[in-house]
């Protein structure tokens, strides 16, 4: 953090904000806090303008080319797993997936959509041997390969790709925000929805949740939801392979594969 203190000044109180990348910090000066991050996605600016991510306060470019962003620090709280089942999340996610401005801007940055074929190839590359050799993982990879979904053209939208209650925050006024957009992609909306439903919503409540979002449950949609939920579980097994959380994701993956869908 020395480089950050040199950039902002010794009067700042700076502490790590946690997270997988270790590139996020909380800075405090005169009892006012900001959320600081190194090399956030350039997509962050339009997310803030759209009211989906916290307000962007300023950016600074370092001599080495790194960019530091400062965002509004939310004094509110993270959502609970129970909160993720509510209508508010369905409506908020629909707003994100329906935004033409977000899609236009992300196309400028990434251009290419992540098809199921591209996603599967990324999964294979990212898995370490420690995870790859597990029988459950081999079963999941065979499922992904054999059950490759066909995605309608109008289903390709801006996806957060790491939708969980830790990344959903409310400010002191109750306004909802979604943070940690570094993994944003253009992909099937089922990528976000499948992750959310399998992780938080009992299957008997799916019809109501999907109706609130604006989708009709169908065999094709169910298949896509399951496919992307398996992808997400594998990614988190890899991320947590040396942690106790590994068992949580192993159990979730087993449940997804065993589901009747």
Q: What pLDDT score was predicted for residue 224?
A: 98
pLDDT in tens, 163-175: 999 999 998 889 9
Cβ proximity of 96 and 102 under 8 Å: yes
151 has a pLDDT exceeding 70: yes
Q: Are residues 84 and 192 in the same domain?
A: yes
pLDDT at 19 exceeding the cut of 90:
no
Q: Is 162 a catalytic residue?
A: yes
Report which listed range, 35-39, 81-85, 106-110, is most confident. Answer: 81-85
Can you give the pLDDT at residue 59? Answer: 86
* CB burial string 200-239: b at 16+ within 10 A, e below: bbeeeebeebbebbebeeeeebbbbbbbbbbbbbbbbbbb
Instruction: Indicate which CATH number applies to the domain containing 42.
Output: 3.30.200.20
Q: Are residues 133 and 184 in the same domain?
A: yes
Mean pLDDT of 124-130: 96
- Asked whether residue 47 falls in the same domain as residue 99, the answer is no
* Max mean pLDDT range (38-47, 103-112, 138-147, 237-246): 138-147
Average pLDDT, stretch 100-112? 89
CB 209 within 8 A of CB 200: no
**Confidence grade of residue 128 (pLDDT, cut at 50, 70, 90):** very high
Cα 79 from chain centroid?
14
- Domain limits at 61? 2-73
Is residue 77's pLDDT more than 90? no
Q: Strand runs (DSSP E) across 100-179, as ranges? A: 156-159, 168-170, 176-178
pTM over 0.85: yes
Which span out of 3-7, 15-19, 65-69, 223-227 was modeled with the highest average pLDDT? Answer: 223-227
- Position 32 scores a pLDDT of 85
Domain co-membership, 87 together with 38:
no
Does one domain contain both 146 and 170?
A: yes
Domain containing residue 176: CATH number:
3.90.1200.10
pLDDT of residue 63: 78
Q: What is the mean pLDDT of residues 118-136?
A: 97
From the list 114, 162, 182, 192, the catalytic residue is 162
pLDDT for residue 111: 72
Query: 114 with 153, same domain?
Result: yes
Together in a domain, 53 and 118: no
The answer on pLDDT for 78 being more than 90 is no
């Amino acid at each position: 953090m020395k480089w950050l203190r040199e950039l902002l000044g010794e009067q700042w109180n700076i502490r790590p904000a946690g997270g997988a990348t270790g590139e996020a910090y909380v800075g405090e000066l005169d009892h006012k806090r900001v959320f600081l991050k190194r090399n956030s996605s350039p997509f962050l600016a339009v997310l803030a303008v759209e009211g989906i991510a916290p307000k962007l306060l300023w950016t600074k470019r370092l001599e080495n080319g790194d960019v530091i962003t400062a965002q509004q620090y939310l004094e509110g709280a993270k959502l609970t797993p129970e909160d993720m089942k509510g209508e508010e999340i369905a409506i908020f996610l629909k707003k994100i997936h329906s935004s033409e401005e977000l899609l236009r801007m992300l196309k400028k940055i990434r251009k290419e959509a992540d098809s199921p074929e591209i996603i599967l190839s990324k999964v294979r590359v990212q898995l370490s041997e420690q995870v790859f050799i597990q029988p459950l993982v081999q079963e999941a990879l065979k499922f992904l390969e054999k059950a490759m979904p066909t995605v309608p053209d109008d289903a390709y939208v801006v996806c957060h790709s790491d939708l969980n209650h830790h990344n959903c925050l409310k400010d002191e006024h109750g306004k909802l925000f979604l943070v940690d957009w570094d993994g944003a992609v253009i992909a099937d909306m089922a990528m976000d929805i499948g992750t959310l439903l399998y992780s938080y919503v009992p299957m008997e409540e799916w019809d109501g949740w999907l109706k609130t979002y604006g989708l009709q449950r169908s065999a094709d949609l169910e298949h896509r939801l399951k496919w992307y939920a398996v992808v997400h579980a594998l990614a988190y097994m890899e991320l947590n392979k040396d942690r106790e959380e590994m068992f949580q994701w192993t159990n979730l993956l087993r449940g997804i594969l065993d589901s009747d869908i």
